[in-house]
Amino acid sequence: MSDRLHTLSGYLYEYQKSVTQPEEFWARIADSFYWRKRWSKTLKWNFKDPDVKWFVNGKLNITENIFERNMFTMADRPAIIWEPNDPNEASRTLTYKELFHEVCRFANALKAKGIEKGDRVIIYMPMVPEAAVAMLACARIGAIHSVVFAGFSASALADRIKDCGAKAVLTSDGNFRGSKKIAVKGLVDEALEKSPVDTVIVYQRTHQEITMKEGRDFWWHDAVADQADTNVAEEMDSEDMLFILYTSGSTGKPKGVVHTTGGYMVYTKYSFENVFQYSPGDVYWCTADIGWITGHSYIVYGPLLCGATTLMFEGVPTYPDAGRFWAVVEKHKVNQFYTAPTAIRALQAYGTEPIQGYDLSSLKVLGSVGEPINEEAWHWYHTHIGKDKCPIVDTWWQTETGGIMVSPLAGITPTKPAYATLPLPGIQLCIVDADGNELTGNGVEGNLCVKFPWPSMIRTTYGDHDRCKQTYFSTYPNMYFTGDGVKRDHDGYYRILGRVDDVINVSGHRMGTAEVENAINEHPKVIESAVVGYPHEVKGQGIYAYVICDLTNRTEENLIQEIKDSVSKIIGPIAKPDKIQLVPGLPKTRSGKIMRRILRKVAENSLDNMGDTSTLLDPEVVKQIIEGRK
Ligand code: WTA
């Protein structure tokens, strides 16, 4: 059943209703799903603890809403189209019926290995259909999945396994990425030395040599070999955990954002259908990795709940050449295409030549996500990819929000370059100043908060509820604080200005400055470090690290390389600093706090206005840092 809006007035009407009667609004949407038992109360909440429950006492299984609910009408419709890294390898298509049987077989395999409802399962896999099968099989049996981006290091993987107390790891022998073949199982083995699990299931992708530990490691194909292709789904409570996804914040280690079953299901389907204006038969492609929230909500759950055909791409935009995205669009006649500004900017750098010769006429909608899209990239995307006829949906949201919060509805909401435009129905935004006063009216700028719950919002941070409270619900009382700055222009349109906390957004990937600093500090020659973001032409933001270190027995060049390698090893290549400047000291206040504001200015090269430096312990340090800047 479709809850798609079709007109601007329809959107405005529904939005109003969603604010004045939120419970009635969401109950109506939720009623189109299949519940084993309908909920008794639509919403219970307070943002103080925080304690948010949607569709209270409702019983369901999210995979029944993907498969059983729709099986009569769309069994033979393609669910997943898979495009491999190598264009010469055959692509694969799984219909809903085929995907259902794969999910059931793997669900049975997990059960046979002793995985039960409530157990945590880590998924560290390449972009192959089996990764989606793994997620859905967990959901089928009530196990909580935690997908870890396969580009993270062994040590980052070990931290996540340990934090959630995982019982099993699902992985592959290796991954293909562009021209590279990456040895994955070896990293898993390394991680498991630190954080052991009972069971490892290995999907054979690259056929490279790996070691298998007797009694712990099993091949995927062996595990499913004798399993039945049907499975009775586990009955879940609406508020039972569906998954944990680790994300970086301003302090400490990444935290496990928890999403629950009922609300996440309702919101991801509703937002997918409306933002992308998906029609049955369309081919939809989101280029994210399933290791990020975008992959969870808008490659797997949202599209599949909608009965959509979702394309999964294993490779990278520039392999075998910079025309690959457009070759895939042409080959599979993609109708909706959803990517990140960093990919657009990277391809823009190759000019329009790689686009020539590809038929992009199937495209109807273009999407953007992960970071602010600059106007130049917006126009390039609109003109050269969308041929001036495809609306761009600039979708603002977060791991914590579970689904798209602010975005045009394609072809319905008039767009404005670089603006995420208007909130989706049910999303009550609020702009506040530094003291927490709400800034009403238009033409204002401040911090972005949400003042009313929505179904797919974060419920807790795994194993540490207080951290959830402190991070999101304590800065401003009774509000969820996003960490983003925003402007509401004279038309009431929202433009996201970027993070206002110590989070750096590198190519749409969130990195905590503290996390990178900790990794740098692990190098034995490093005494202290401070990390800030700076504007980067392709990545949006780059990582600039100021490091105090002991140079005995090292050249500056060697040490910088060693630090980069060590960060890659501790977190992953995405966290590698773009610039490292060795400094004699860091600008600190008398109370010992690093003045990051100054370091940001130096990194941005905007030295005219350094602001007030009178509280600095040693102003001389700033001069030395400026002289030595990269
Ligand atoms: C940023 C990704 C501007 C923002 C879905 C947010 C954006 C963080 C946009 C969340 C956008 C995401 N315009 N900024 N359209 N989308 N962001 O958790 O700073 O990986 O807080 O979720 O990305 O990143 P996350």
3-state secondary structure 288-321: CCCCCHHHHHHHHHHHHHCCCEEEEECCCCCCCC
Does any ligand 1 atom lie closer than 6 A to the CB of residue 401? no
Helix 129-141 × helix 96-112 angle, to 10°: 60
Spatial CA neighbour of 454 closest among 49, 31, 10, 26: 26
* Any atom of ligand 1 within 6 Å of the Cβ of 510: yes
Q: In which element (H, E) is residue 569 found?
A: helix 556-570
Question: Is residue 252 scored above 90 in pLDDT?
Answer: no
- What's the pLDDT score for residue 443? 97
Q: Ligand 1 pocket, 397 CB below 6 A?
A: yes
* Ligand 1 pocket check for 293: Cβ under 6 Å: yes
Alpha helices in 184-318 (DSSP H): 185-194, 220-225, 261-276, 293-295, 302-305
The predicted pLDDT at position 1 comes to: 60
What's the average model confidence in pLDDT over 299-324?
Answer: 97
Residue 526 has a pLDDT of: 96
Query: How far is CA 490 from each of CA 441, 486, 494, rounded to the nearest angstrom?
Result: 9, 13, 10
Average pLDDT on 457-461 reads 98
Residue 374 CA, ligand 1 centroid: distance in Å: 14
Q: Is 398 in the pocket of ligand 1 (CB under 6 A)?
A: yes
Q: Determine the average pLDDT of the residues in 461-477.
A: 97
Nearest residue (by CA) to ligand 1, atom 24, is 398
Ligand 1 atom 22: residue of nearest CA: 398
CA of 473 to the centre of ligand 1 (A): 19
User: The tokens 């062996």 sit on which residue?
Assistant: 222
Q: How far is 482 from 498, CA to CA, in rounded Å?
A: 10
Arithmetic mean of pLDDT, 303-316? 97
pLDDT band at 484 (very low <50, low <70, confident <90, very high): very high
Distance 398 CA to ligand 1 centre (A): 5
Model confidence at 612: pLDDT above 80: no
Query: Which residue has the least CA distance to atom 15 on ligand 1?
Result: 396
Q: What is the pTM of this model?
A: 0.96
Best residue for ligand 1 mutational test, from 461, 494, 496, 515 (most atoms within 8 Å of Cβ): 496
CA of 396 to the centre of ligand 1 (A): 6
pLDDT band at 182 (very low <50, low <70, confident <90, very high): very high
- Residues 6 or more apart whose CB falls under 8 angstroms from that of 129 comprise 80, 82, 92, 94, 99, 102, 312
In the predicted structure, residue 15 carries a pLDDT above the cut 70? yes
**Residue 293: predicted pLDDT:** 98
Ligand 1, atom 1: closest residue by C-alpha: 371
* Atom 14 in ligand 1: residue holding the nearest Cα: 371
User: How large a percentage of the chain has pLDDT more than 90?
Assistant: 92
| C-alpha torsion sign, points 552, 556, 557, 563 | positive
Q: How far is the CA of 410 from the centre of ligand 1 (A)?
A: 19
Q: Average per-residue pLDDT in the chain?
A: 96
Q: What are the CA-CA distances from residue 557 to residues 296, 368, 570, 625 (Å)?
A: 40, 38, 20, 17
- Could you give the CA distance from residue 323 to residue 317 in angstroms, rounded to a whole number? 7
Residue from 258, 259, 397, 472 whose mutation best tests the ligand 1 pocket (most atoms within 8 A of CB):
397
Give the pLDDT score at 126. Answer: 97
The token pair at 72 is 């009569």
Mean pLDDT value across residues 86-94: 98
Give the dihedral sign, CA 424/427/433/437: positive
What tokens does 231 get?
């499975």
Ligand 1 centroid, distance to 140 Cα (angstroms): 29
Ligand 1 centroid, distance to 551 Cα (angstroms)? 39
Residue nearest to atom 6 of ligand 1 (CA): 398
Q: Which numbered atom of ligand 1 lies nearest the CA of 496?
A: 3
CB of 249 closer than 8 Å to CB of 503: yes
- For the Cβ of 297 lying below 6 angstroms from any atom of ligand 1, the answer is no
- Residue-wise pLDDT tens digits, 16-57: 999 999 999 999 999 999 999 999 999 999 999 999 999 999
Residue 500 has pLDDT above 90, yes or no: yes
Pocket of ligand 1 contains residue 595 by CB under 6 Å: no
At 353, the pLDDT band (50, 70, 90 cuts) reads very high
- Determine whether the shortest distance from the Cβ of 402 to ligand 1 is under 6 A: no
Residue 417, pLDDT > 70, answer: yes
Is the CB–ligand 1 distance for residue 326 below 6 Å? Answer: no
Task: Confirm or reject: Cβ of 421 under 6 Å from ligand 1.
Answer: no
> Domains of the chain by range and CATH?
8-486 (3.40.50.12780), 507-628 (3.30.300.30)
Cα 509 to averaged position of ligand 1 atoms, centre (Å): 9
Ligand 1 centre from 241 Cα, in Å? Answer: 23
Atom of ligand 1 nearest to the CA of 482: 21
Distance 482 CA to ligand 1 centre (A): 10
**In whole angstroms, what is the distance from residue 200 CA to residue 618 CA?**
54
Cβ(309) – ligand 1 distance below 6 Å: no
Ligand 1 pocket test, candidate residues 244, 484, 497, most atoms within 8 A of CB: 484
How far is the C-alpha of 394 from the C-alpha of 418, rounded, in Å? 7
